[in-house]
Structure 1
Amino acid sequence: MVASYKISQAARLLGVSDDTIRRAVDQGALPVTDASPAEIPGDALARRAVELAHVAQDPTDVLSSARNRFTGLVTRVVADEVMAQVDIQAGPHRVVSLMSAEAVRDLGLEVGSLAVAVVKATTVIVETPRP
């Protein structure tokens, strides 16, 4: 059985408003189930998420082997003389990077800066909600 999501849940998962989901349904870009109130099938929502990710603008013009790229705004920089912590809010995702204070200065990172967090890892933990 394919999971399905209420309009508000689908909106949160895609990082858009409820009205955006309703417009996508009205335009035929997202199907709905026969449930009342209407729900979005999980497989269709997943396809839409991939489509939106491909449309999203990445401010960099680079080729990379890393597929996990989170474009967002720097929300916090804590630095001492040697090391720094940089927080990036990329949609609903908070990404925290530890780097040298020199790198922060060289990149000109400050609160409000546009940045891309690139994650290249061999271990990814996957969790699902309990039924």
Structure 2
Amino acid sequence: MTHFRISEAAALIGVSDDTVRRWVSDGALDAGADDAGRQTVTGASLARRALELAPAPDATDPVRRSARNRFTGIVTAVQREGLVAQVELQCGPNRVVSLMTAEALDDLAIEVGSRATGIVKATTVIIEAERR
């Protein structure tokens, strides 16, 4: 079974170390200790908690989408060159870059500092994991 130190668990789901410690003390996460005696949480309980915290789809949204991967963040860079534009979003710890037409950039009125959501639909998603 996979275990994470408190700081690793906090970084994975974007909360503070203190929040993870509070969840452990409240029984929301299963805890243990590593070989060095440092407190850890199980990967399975952290995964369950991450799903509990994930926002539910907005049932009042009149638009239904086939894409489920949505990254909401702040626009950190916009580059326009001729007919093409590049927009960079910082979505928590994730950087999302989108290429679009300059016309789409104008229609969306995107500028540095804007709030925006990148919606990703891909036929290929590559997963990396550490070797054990």
Aligned amino acid, residue 19 of structure 1: D
Q: How many residues align?
A: 128
- CA distances 1:80-126 after superposition (whole Å, capped 9, x unpaired): 23100000111111010000111111101111111111001111111
Alpha-carbon distance, 1:20 to partner: 1.2
Partners of 2:21 and 2:115 lie apart in 1 by 30
Aligned to 1:104: 105
User: Structure 1 regions of 5+ residues with no counterpart?
Assistant: none
Aligned to 2:118: 117
Alignment of 1:64 with 2:98, yes or no, is: no
Alpha-carbon distance, 1:66 to partner: 0.6
Partners of 1:130 and 1:29 lie apart in 2 by 28
Alpha-carbon distance, 1:34 to partner: 4.2
User: Structure 2 regions of 5+ residues with no counterpart?
Assistant: none
Aligned to 1:19: 18
Aligned to 2:87: 86
Aligned amino acid, residue 76 of structure 1: A
Deviates more, 1:31-40 or 1:97-106: 31-40
Match of 1:33, SS state, is strand
Aligned to 2:32: 33
Query: Runs of 4+ in structure 1 displaced over 6 angstroms?
Result: none
Aligned amino acid, residue 16 of structure 2: S
Alpha-carbon distance, 1:49 to partner: 1.4
Deviates more, 1:97-106 or 1:33-42: 33-42
Aligned to 2:3: 4
Partners of 1:50 and 1:100 lie apart in 2 by 35
Give the TM-score normalised by the residue count of structure 1: 0.89
Aligned to 1:46: 47
Partners of 2:45 and 2:100 lie apart in 1 by 38
Partners of 1:63 and 1:28 lie apart in 2 by 36
Match of 2:31, SS state, is coil
Match of 1:125, SS state, is coil
Match of 1:54, SS state, is coil
